[in-house]
């Protein structure tokens, strides 16, 4: 059975999507709730003026910053993760 170019591209795209979802799931447990709260407070102060001022949009922007920080920490070697946490 040979794959057409279109089938090969679809299979590759599906594989990338699956690996991306698996990677996101793996990153979700780096910081506990207390650590996330600390990072959220720091991010809100550091990003003041750069993120929206109204509450729902501001909360979403801070949550995205915290999620990005958690992913960045998760990518560090275990010894460095321990220092950051």
Burial track 4-36 (b if 16+ CB lie within 10 A, e otherwise): eeeeeeeeeeeeeeeeeeeeeeebeebbeeebb
Determine contact, residues 73/31, Cβ cutoff 8 Å. Answer: yes
Size (the chain), residues: 85
pLDDT score, position 76: 83
The pLDDT tens digits along the chain (85 residues) read 677 888 778 777 777 776 666 665 555 457 788 888 998 999 888 888 888 888 888 899 999 999 998 888 888 888 887 787 6
Give the pTM.
Answer: 0.60
Helix (H, G, I), strand (E, B) or coil at 3: coil
């Amino acid at each position: 059975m040979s794959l057409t170019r279109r089938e090969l591209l679809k299979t590759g795209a599906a594989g990338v999507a699956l690996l991306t979802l698996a990677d996101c799931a793996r990153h979700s447990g780096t910081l506990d709730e207390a650590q996330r709260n600390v990072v959220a407070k720091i991010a809100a102060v550091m990003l003041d003026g750069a993120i929206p001022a109204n509450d729902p949009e501001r909360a979403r922007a801070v949550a995205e910053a915290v999620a990005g920080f958690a992913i960045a920490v998760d990518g560090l070697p275990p010894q460095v993760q321990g220092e950051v946490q």
